[in-house]
């Protein structure tokens, strides 16, 4: 039988399913969304490990303003889950100290993802963050994460829908840039997050007390409410990791 004839016999769904490292079909992803829809976010995270082996789960943290919230939950549910930190080379010193503090506090095994030295140095010499912040983020954040995605079946994020317009329509499970993305907190409100932080007396990033509410790289972060302090004066609102 010719390749063309074989292709004609394939189910239409198979042709339309976006590729993802978990190898799941659109129907299987829809089934996961239905299964997880009415669960509390903590139960969603617990149940994730019924479907995926821990070594195939990618958890990332920026160790930014309220990262203790997400990491506290992960630690309580799955203490052996490793956490990836995307080291852009431009983090505030306070961010690195906060990372070390939370790692020790929760007993986290944290490993770094970073750009190749020569690529990062190019952005240093070029001041790429000033000329083309999207390109700078691509080199120092997006590419290092893209390189490890094939090693995992699912990527867990702590995104919440109220944070940006881009995040407001995300689903619990969805395919993003070739990997199955899991957003267990996407429907958690700011009030619910803050109540959890208060109940468990979780530590904020030290720069929060100085007026920073969203904390990224030193060159592209200023004080401000919400994400208004990120890429101030530019239309950019996302680093590109979650697009």
Residue boundaries of the structural domains of the chain: 20-206
First to last CA, the chain: 40
Question: pLDDT tens across 193-232, in order?
Answer: 889 889 999 998 898 888 887 788 888 887 766 655 555 5
- Select which of 136, 137, 220, 239 is catalytic: 239
The DSSP bridge partners found for residue 180 are 154, 175
With CA atoms as reference, report the closest residue to 182 among 16, 19, 82, 47: 47
Buried b (16+ CB within 10 A) or exposed e, 175-210: bbbebbbbbbbbbbeeeebeebbeeeebbbbbbbee
Is 239 among the residues known to form the active site?
yes
Question: pLDDT tens across 174-190, in order?
Answer: 998 889 999 998 888 88
Name the architecture of domain 20-206: 3-Layer(aba) Sandwich (3.40)
pLDDT at 9: 41
Round to whole Å and give the CA distance between 198 and 90: 30
Question: pLDDT tens across 51-65, in order?
Answer: 999 999 999 998 988
Round to whole Å and give the CA distance between 97 and 103: 10
5: Cα within 13 Å, side-chain hemisphere: 2
């Amino acid at each position: 039988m010719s390749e063309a004839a074989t292709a004609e016999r394939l189910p239409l769904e198979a042709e339309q399913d976006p590729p993802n490292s978990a190898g799941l079909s659109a129907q299987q992803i829809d089934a996961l969304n239905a299964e997880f829809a009415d669960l509390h976010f903590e139960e969603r995270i617990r149940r994730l490990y019924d479907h995926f082996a821990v070594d195939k789960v990618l958890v990332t943290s920026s160790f930014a303003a309220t990262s203790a919230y997400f990491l506290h939950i992960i630690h309580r549910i799955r203490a052996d889950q490793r956490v990836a930190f995307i080291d852009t080379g431009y983090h505030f010193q306070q961010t690195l100290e906060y990372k070390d503090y939370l790692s020790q506090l929760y007993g986290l095994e944290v490993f770094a993802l970073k750009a190749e030295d020569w690529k990062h140095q190019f952005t240093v010499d070029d001041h790429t963050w000033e000329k083309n912040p999207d390109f700078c983020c691509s080199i120092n954040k997006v590419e290092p994460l893209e390189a490890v995605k094939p090693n995992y079946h699912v990527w867990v994020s702590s995104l919440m829908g109220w944070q940006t317009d881009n995040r407001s329509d995300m689903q619990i499970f969805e395919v993003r840039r070739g990997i199955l993305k899991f957003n267990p907190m996407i429907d958690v409100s700011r009030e619910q997050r803050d109540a959890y932080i208060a109940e468990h007396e979780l530590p904020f990033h030290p720069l929060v007390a100085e007026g920073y509410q969203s904390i990224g790289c030193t060159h592209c972060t200023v004080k401000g409410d919400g994400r208004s302090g990120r890429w101030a004066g530019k239309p950019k609102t996302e680093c590109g990791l979650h697009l």
